[in-house]
Chains A and B, each alone.
Chain A
Amino acid sequence: MQVSLTVNGELVVSDVEPRLLLVHFLRDVLGLTGTHWGCDTSNCGACVVLLDGEPVKSCTVLTPMAGGHEVRTVESLEQDNYLDPVQQGFIECHGLQCGFCTPGMLMSARALLDANPRPSDDDVREAISGQICRCTGYRSIVRSVQWAAEHPEPVPTPEPVWPVGSAGGPS
Chain B
Amino acid sequence: MTLQETTPEPTREATPPGTHGHGRRPRREAPRFVRGRGRYVDDIALPGTLHLAILRSPVAHARIASLDTTAARAHPKVKAVVTGADLAERGLAWMPTLSEDRQAVLATDKVRFQGQEVAFVVAEDRYSARDALELIEVTYDELPVLVDARRALAEDAVLIRDDIPGKTDNLAFEWESGDADATRAAFARADVRVVQDMVVPRVHPAPLETCGAVADYDRVEGRLTLWCTSQAPHAHRMLLATISGLPEHRIRVISPDVGGGFGNKVPIYPGYLCAIVGSILTGHPVKWVEDRTENLVSTTFARDYVMHGEIAATRDGRILAVRSHVLADHGAFNAAATPTKYPAGFYGVFTGSYAIEAAYCHVTAVHTNKAPGGVAYACSFRIAEAAYLVERLVDLLAAELDLDPAELRRRNLIPPGAFPYATPTGWVYDSGDYPTALEHLLEAAGYDELRAEQAERRARGELMGIGFSFFTEAVGAGPRKDMDMAGLGMADTCEVLVHPTGKAVVRVSVQTQGQGHETTFAQIVAEELGMATDDVDVVHGDTDLTPFGLGTYGSRSMPVSGAAAALAARKVREKGRLVASSILEATPADVEWEQGVFRVKGDPGRAVTLAEVAVRAYGPDAPPSPDGQGALEANVCYDPTSLTFPYGAYLCVVDVDPGTGKVQVRRFVTVDDCGTRINDDVVEGQIHRGLTDGIGLALMEQISFDEHGNCLNGSLMDYLIPTALEVPEWETSMMVTPSPHHPIGAKGVGESATVGSPAAVVNAVIDALAPHGVRHADIPLTPSRVWEAMQGRAEPPG
Interfacial residues, chain A to chain B (CB-CB below 8 A): 17, 19-20, 24, 27-28, 31-41, 43-44, 46, 73-75, 77-78, 83, 87-88, 90-94, 96-103, 106, 124-126, 128-143, 146-147, 157-159, 170
| B727 at the binding interface (Cβ < 8 Å) | yes
Knowing A94-B27, A139-B688, say if A41 contacts B717 (CB, 8 Å): yes
Cβ-neighbour of B260 out of A24, A41, A94, A134 (below 8 A): A134
CB pair A97 B516 closer than 8 Å: yes
Residue in chain A with minimal CB distance to B30? A91
CA distance A8 to B344 in the complex (A): 52
B685 contacts A134, C-beta separation under 8 Å: no
Given A137-B727, A139-B729, A102:B34 Cβ within 8 A: yes
User: Does B33 contact A102, Cβ atoms closer than 8 Å?
Assistant: yes
User: Secondary structure at chain B's binding surface: helix, strand, loop or mixed?
Assistant: loop
- Cα A73 to Cα B27 in complex, Å, equals 23
Shortest distance between the CB of A51 and any CB in chain B (Å): 17
**Which parts of B121-135 form the interface with A (CB within 8 Å)?**
125-127
A-facing mask of B24-46, CB < 8 A → 1, else 0? 00110111111111111011010
A87 to chain B, nearest CB (A): 4
- Contacting residue for B716 out of A41, A100, A137, CB 8 A: A41
Q: Which residue of B lies closest to A107 (CB)?
A: B36
In the bound complex, CA of A128 to CA of B38 (Å): 21
CB-CB under 8 A from A138, the residues of chain B are 688, 692, 723-724, 727
Interface status of B292 (Cβ within 8 A of chain A):
yes
What are 16 of the A-B contact pairs (CB < 8 Å)? Answer: A20-B127, A24-B126, A33-B42, A35-B36, A36-B209, A41-B292, A44-B292, A75-B36, A91-B27, A98-B208, A100-B38, A100-B260, A128-B724, A134-B689, A138-B688, A138-B723
Say whether A129 contacts B723, CB under 8 Å.
Answer: yes
Contact B208 A100, beta carbon cutoff 8 Å:
yes
Q: Are B725's CB and A129's CB within 8 A?
A: yes
Are B33 and A99 in contact (CB-based, < 8 A)? yes
User: Using a CB-CB cutoff of 8 Å, which residues 21-67 of chain B contact chain A?
Assistant: 26-27, 29-40, 42-43, 45
Kindly state the separation between the CA atoms of A19 and B723 in the bound complex, as whole angstroms.
30
Instruction: Answer whether residue B207 sits at the interface, using C-beta atoms and an 8 A cutoff.
Output: yes
Choice from B34, B258, B727 contacting A98 with Cβ under 8 Å: B258
Complex alpha-carbon distance, A106 and B45, angstroms? 24
Query: In the complex, are the beta carbons of A39 and B292 less than 8 A apart?
Result: yes
Bound-state Cα–Cα, A88 to B35, Å: 10
B341-356, CB < 8 A from A? none
B687: A residues at CB distance < 8 A: 137
Q: Which of B711-731 contact A (CB under 8 A)?
A: 715-717, 721, 723-725, 727, 729-730
User: With a CB–CB cut-off of 8 A, which chain B residues contact A141?
Assistant: 724
Q: Are A100 and B209 in contact (CB under 8 A)?
A: yes
Inter-subunit contact A136/B688 (CB<8 Å): yes
Question: For the complex, is B623 an interface residue (Cβ under 8 Å from A)?
Answer: no
Which residues does chain A contribute within 8 Å of B208, judged by CB atoms?
Answer: 36, 38, 44, 46, 98, 100-101, 132-135
Decide: B35 and A77 in contact? CB cutoff 8 A.
Answer: yes
Task: Looking at the assembled complex, report how far the CB atom of B716 sits from the nearest CB atom of chain A, in whole angstroms.
Answer: 4
Known A-B contacts A138-B724, A139-B730; A158 and B31 likewise in contact (beta carbons under 8 Å): yes
Which of A33, A98, A137, A147 contacts B692 (CB under 8 A)? A137
- In the bound complex, do residue A136 and residue B36 qualify as a contact, i.e. CB atoms below 8 Å apart? no
> Of residues B259, B293, B715, B724, which shows the largest number of chain A Cβ atoms within 10 Å of its Cβ?
B724
CB distance from B298 to the nearest CB of A (A): 14
Q: Is the CB of A34 within 8 A of B36?
A: yes
B682 at the interface (CB under 8 A from A): yes
Contact check, B293 vs A40: say whether CB atoms are below 8 A apart.
yes
- Whether the Cβ atoms of A91 and B514 lie closer than 8 Å is no
Residues in B with CB closer than 8 Å to A24 are 126
Give the nearest-CB partner of A96 in chain B: B33
> Cβ of A28: which chain B residues have Cβ within 8 Å of it?
45, 125-126
Q: Do residues A134 and B37 form an inter-chain contact, with CB atoms below 8 A?
A: no
Docked Cα-Cα span, A147 to B688, in Å, equals: 19
Which A residue's beta carbon lies closest to that of B36? A34
Query: What's the nearest-Cβ distance from chain B to residue A140, in Å?
Result: 6
Inter-subunit contact B685/A94 (CB<8 Å):
yes
**A146 neighbours in B (Cβ, 8 Å):** 10
In the docked arrangement, what's the CA distance between A46 and B413, Å?
43
CA distance A6 to B762 in the complex (A): 50
- CB A50 to nearest CB in B, in angstroms, measures 13
Q: Could you tell me if A99 and B206 are in contact, using CB atoms closer than 8 angstroms?
A: no
- Is B681 on the interface with A (CB-CB < 8 A)? yes
Most buried by B among A43, A74, A142: A43
Answer yes or no: B456 CB below 8 A from chain A CBs. Answer: no
Instruction: Kindly list chain B residues whose C-beta atoms are within 8 Å of the C-beta of A98.
Output: 207-209, 257-260, 513-514
Closest Cβ of chain A to B32, distance in Å, is: 8
How far does the alpha carbon of A94 sit from the alpha carbon of B39 in the complex, in Å? 19
Task: Please name all residues of chain A whose beta carbon is closer than 8 Å to the beta carbon of B681 when the two chains form the complex.
Answer: 94
Measured in the bound complex, the distance between the Cα atoms of B34 and A106 in whole Å is 8
- Check if B262 is an interface residue, CB within 8 A of chain A: yes
Given the known A-B contacts A43-B715, A78-B35, A98-B258, are A130 and B723 also in contact in the complex, defined by CB atoms under 8 Å?
yes
Q: Which chain A residue has the least Cβ–Cβ distance from B516?
A: A97
CB of B685 within 8 A of CB of A99, answer no
Which listed residue (A87, A99, A106, A129) contacts B724, Cβ 8 A?
A: A129
Collect the chain B residues with CB atoms within 8 Å of residue A143's CB.
10
Chain A residues whose C-beta falls within 8 Å of the C-beta of B513 in the assembled complex = 98
Assembly CA distance A33 to B10 (angstroms): 31
B128 CB to nearest chain A CB (Å):
10
Is A74 a contact partner of B691 (Cβ separation < 8 A)?
no
User: Would you call A31 and B45 a contact (CB within 8 A)?
Assistant: yes
Contact B36 A91 (CB under 8 A): no
Apart from A39-B292, A94-B681, A126-B725, what are 10 other A-B pairs with CB-CB below 8 Å?
A: A33-B40, A77-B34, A90-B33, A94-B682, A98-B514, A124-B724, A132-B208, A136-B689, A137-B688, A159-B31
- Closest chain-A Cβ to B501's Cβ sits at a distance in Å of 8
Distance of A138 Cα from B691 Cα, bound (Å): 11
- Tell me which residues across on chain B come within 8 A of A37, comparing CB atoms: 42
Tell which of B36, B206, B207, B515 has the most Cβ of chain A within 10 Å: B36
Closest-CB distance, B395 to chain A (whole angstroms): 24
Q: Which residues of A have CB within 8 Å of B126? A: 24, 28
Residues on B with C-beta less than 8 A from A136 are 685, 688-689
Q: With A40-B292, A91-B31, A100-B259 in contact, do A134 and B721 touch (Cβ < 8 Å)?
A: yes
On whether the beta carbons of A137 and B723 are closer than 8 Å, the reply is no
